[in-house]
Amino acid sequence: MPSSAIAEMEEQCRPAGGKRILALVSDAYGGHGGIAAYNRDVFDALSGAPEISGIRLLPRLIEFPVDTLPKGIVLDRTGLTGGAAYARALLNAVRRYRFDLIYCAHVNLAPLAWLAAKLQRCPWMLAIYGIEAWEPSRRRSVRLATGRADHVVSISRITLDRFCGFTSIGPDRHSIVPNAVHLTDFGTGPRNEEFARRLGAAGRRVVLTFGRLSPYERYKGFDEIISLMPRLLKKVPDLLYLIAGRGDDQARLQALVSELDLDDHVKFAGFVAEEEKADLYRLADVFALPSRGEGFGFVLLEAMACGVPVVASRLDGGYEAVREGALGRVVDPGDADALADAILGALREPKRVPAGLDYFAFPRFAERIRQAVIPQMEGLRAR
């Protein structure tokens, strides 16, 4: 069927009076990692709002198969083959459909979102997450566009403050909507012993960190914990540091492990599928993320949802993920003594889901994101 005919059919199915969103995203459904997870939660929440009749998602990347989508969401795959294809897909969408809001889910897509909003004569929103929005972009078009968003949704206060430091976004044009955690997907439970044996964790006390192993994201704290392991092993001889995630920095980290003669005490779990994440967290006695550049650190929420004591940084968004220390221990990642004490102290804690974690539960997230997004379609006009 010709694309024009499909467009006409989709338009005819649009409920009268409902609002429609065009979303420009790096990835969401079929994606992996923190931004993709946040985006899925955003669109799951908005698709259930009675004010919204449809959301058209335009992703740059779909890494895994997408089986089902929430009602009212259309996944436009025509822009997946590169930047030019993505721009064509965007122009086709704004030519064929009428949208009430452009939702931009990455700063690098801001110039296209601004253009789409101009063509549609509608407002546009920008979502920001972490270090990608902590400093002005090197690209002039991105710098110009980001400050023109009608509204900005930030995952954390620290990210918002950094962003507002170099843009003209005023207090009436932003919201903070922290990550959600799906409590029913996690919970306390016994170790999966087969999984533990596969990862070399059987019969061991485990400190876990879960994150991308990228040479551009060395702020996550892997180096700090590896360097600390000889000291920790003197107190806890059976301790294992388990690093989950994949990326191009693994070889460098493995070399550091071997240099410190820690090959028996530091293991790399590699990629962990969504359906295995709860089993991964339940292997851990402590989850540690002594980072310096996390926009939020949603893995802290997932670990706490499995009852695992956590150690977070007081220097980045992890501090907000543990509610300024109310839900977990906080430490300066550069203070090795404090980090060691925090990990050893957390190892002595019982496993339990901390009271107050429901602050981040998905129903509360859904309420926050709807309060941030829906008014933009009803009252604002594109700048």
Q: List the CATH number of the domain containing 219.
A: 3.40.50.2000
Residues 126 and 50 in one domain: yes
Give the residue from 324, 310, 317, 297 showing the smallest Cα distance to 352.
Answer: 310
Given this model, what pLDDT does residue 271 score?
93
3-state secondary structure 55-84: EEEEECCCCCCCCCCCCCEEECCCCCCCHH
Range of the domain at 248: 183-358
Give the total number of structural domains in the chain. 2
Strand partners of residue 126: 104, 152
Give the residue from 374, 278, 33, 313 showing the smallest Cα distance to 156.
Answer: 313
Residues 139 and 17 in one domain: yes
User: Dihedral through CA 57, CA 62, CA 65, CA 70, nearest 10?
Assistant: -20
Residues 161 and 267 in one domain: no
Which two structure tokens, joined as six digits, stand for 250? 């693994």
Residues 136 and 190 in one domain: no
Across 187-198, b (16+ Cβ under 10 Å) vs e yields eeeeebeebbee
Distance of alpha carbon 22 from its chain centroid, rounded?
A: 20
Give the residue from 159, 149, 165 showing the smallest Cα distance to 179.
Answer: 159
Residues 225 and 295 in one domain: yes
Beta strands in the chain (DSSP E): 19-25, 52-59, 73-75, 101-104, 124-128, 151-154, 174-176, 205-210, 239-244, 266-270, 286-289, 310-313, 329-331
Residues 80 and 222 in one domain: no
Give the residue from 331, 323, 285 showing the smallest Cα distance to 301.
Answer: 323
Residues 188 and 313 in one domain: yes
The SS3 call for residue 232 is helix
Cα–Cα distance for residue pair 129/317, rounded to 1 Å: 10
Cα–Cα distance for residue pair 161/172, rounded to 1 Å: 14
Which DSSP category does 382 fall into? -
How many CB atoms lie under 10 A from the CB of residue 182? 16
Residues 150 and 168 in one domain: yes
Given this model, what pLDDT does residue 217 score?
87
Give the residue from 351, 120, 336 showing the smallest Cα distance to 231.
Answer: 336
Tens-level pLDDT at each residue, the chain (383 residues) = 444 444 444 444 444 468 999 999 999 999 988 999 999 999 999 999 999 999 999 999 999 999 899 999 999 999 999 999 999 999 999 999 999 999 999 999 999 999 999 999 999 999 999 999 999 999 999 999 999 999 999 999 999 999 999 998 888 899 999 999 999 999 999 999 999 999 999 999 999 999 999 998 899 999 999 999 999 999 999 999 999 999 999 999 999 999 999 999 999 999 998 899 999 999 999 999 999 999 999 999 999 999 999 999 999 999 999 999 999 999 999 999 999 999 999 999 999 999 999 999 999 999 999 999 999 987 544 33
Residues 168 and 208 in one domain: no
Contacts with 234 (C-beta within 8 Å, 6 or more apart), sequence order = none
Distances (CA, A) of 220 to 175, 287, 290, 368: 26, 13, 6, 28
The pTM (predicted TM-score) of the whole model is: 0.91
Residues 29 and 46 in one domain: yes
How many CB atoms lie under 10 A from the CB of residue 47? 17
DSSP codes joined into one string, 177-188? -PPPB-GGG---
Cα–Cα distance for residue pair 292/314, rounded to 1 Å: 9
Cα–Cα distance for residue pair 342/323, rounded to 1 Å: 17
Residues 229 and 91 in one domain: no
Cα–Cα distance for residue pair 325/321, rounded to 1 Å: 9
Q: Please state whether 17 falls in left (phi above 0), alpha (psi between -120 and 50) or beta.
A: left
Cα–Cα distance for residue pair 204/201, rounded to 1 Å: 5
Residues 223 and 151 in one domain: no
